[in-house]
Amino acid sequence: MKNRNFKLPEDLRLSSSNYLQWKPRMKNLLTLFGYYHLITKTETDQDSTAADKLDPRRKEKALAILCLNCNMKIANQFILESNDDPSTFWEVIY
């Protein structure tokens, strides 16, 4: 199994002062794992259905990547506001 690192170093995780540096890094990380179009709601219904069949836990994984790359206080705040939905989490942060 390939070891792919999905967690940014602690000093690069989202904080109250680094949003402009964090967002493009997260876009690249989510793209690498195939979740960017999921969270931005830019995938077609057909692509979404096919991806869900291949990986039924992809929404959970996308949300985990987002949360693990924010400081704990920010992650806890936005996870509540997003109702465990990675697309909403991304929108709330945006």
CA angle, corner 14, sides to 11 and 18, nearest 5? 80
Rounded mean pLDDT for each run of 10 residues along the chain, 94 residues in total: 71 93 95 95 91 92 95 92 94 89
What is the number of alpha carbons within 13 Å of residue 17 lying toward its C-beta?
1
Give the per-residue pLDDT at 1: 41
- Its pTM stands at 0.87
Give the per-residue pLDDT at 9: 85
